Structure 1
């Protein structure tokens, strides 16, 4: 299955033993989805950094994926926008959009109910946890083995850094992050070179969300 970076990052949020999304990232999954989409558009050459802001190639066409196209449209071709604002815009819709895409693709099933007969809930589960296990191991290897980041697929670098910075503990645990701090520092520095200012923007957006909920 050919999945976008936001879709793969969403799958990394699953606790495979329990086959459910880890509640630890509940507050910031929307920002993580947006950050992954921005990274994918940048890798594709659609977005670039101009004077510290996100600029969209005026000649680029919208991507075929609806969520990537939504983020694409949020970046103006006429005026560079703050990376932070691009990550933060409509974050509250992003998780459900990506989840529903995965449901339509058959990667996840979603049980929808109404709590207390009023509040809508959606509980996703993986159709095939084995497929996600392979993705997780590749991302863990990128994060923890200390290989030269320039030799790694850029997708794996992006997923590893966002999983670590987003506290996706079911992929890379907090103890592992402490034990592999030097390797992760090198990985983050490479990320910042290839995708300047994006990690900081995502971090600010996630911090703002967690602070507001505290």
Structure 2
């Protein structure tokens, strides 16, 4: 099954050997899911960037992408009032996961159990889903990790793989790459960041800013 970048980003944070989404990997996942959607829309020319000291994003008039979540994000980008990446990412990040979760449940990738009793009061209860095909998660992880571990040139990668690696590695707490791997492949990761920044002109910086704004207050939890 072909998955969108937001769907792949959602599943990437699943820990296969523990059969769950660990709490430390859920914080800021909404930001990354939303950023992945914006990256896919930009690459597909559904939105465009007006260059300047502070790049602005505007909706293109080519029509909706045809995926329910990407359509929603696309419609939230004004066609006549260019916005910063941060304005299109930060205010919406906390609701990004629920839409993608419903999509994955609809395709059978995950099962959403009913939330009962006192669990309804927990902010994390909705994330206690079952991943039905863990091999899909492992395949996504391999696509993100392999180019870095092999030292591949970012310019040689398809945009989707470049975007997943650059966005997933941003503020990652050693879930995607271990501490040792990040140290050993520091130059490669920086090269991926630079090439992604050339393609998206400010999106990764907006993701980093959104995370930094929320981290001191313990925010960044999605619905």
Give the TM-score, by structure 2 length: 0.90
Partner Cα distance (1:6, 1:108) in 2: 15
Matches within 5 A, 1:155-166: 155-166=160-171
In the other structure, the counterpart of 1:141 is 146
What secondary structure does 2:112 align onto? strand
In the other structure, the counterpart of 1:49 is 49
Matches within 5 A, 1:42-191: 42-50=42-50, 51=52, 52-57=55-60, 59-116=61-118, 118-119=120-121, 121-122=125-126, 123-167=128-172, 169-191=174-196
Report if aligned partners of 1:6, 1:37 keep a CA contact under 8 Å in 2: yes
Supply the RMSD in Å over aligned alpha carbons.
1.6
Report if aligned partners of 1:144, 1:184 keep a CA contact under 8 Å in 2: no
In the other structure, the counterpart of 1:35 is 35
Identify if the C-alpha distance between structure 1 residues 154 and 119 changes in structure 2 by more than 3 Å, giving closer, same or farther: same
Give the TM-score, by structure 1 length: 0.93
Partner Cα distance (1:13, 1:69) in 2: 24
In the other structure, the counterpart of 1:9 is 9
User: May I ask how many residue pairs the two structures share in their alignment?
Assistant: 213
Note the C-alpha offset of 1:83: 0.6
Partner Cα distance (2:111, 2:119) in 1: 21
Partner Cα distance (1:109, 1:94) in 2: 18
Richer in strand (by share): 1
Deviating beyond 4 angstroms after TM superposition, the runs of 4 or more aligned structure 1 residues are none
Note the residue ranges of structure 2 that are not aligned, 5 or more in a row.
none
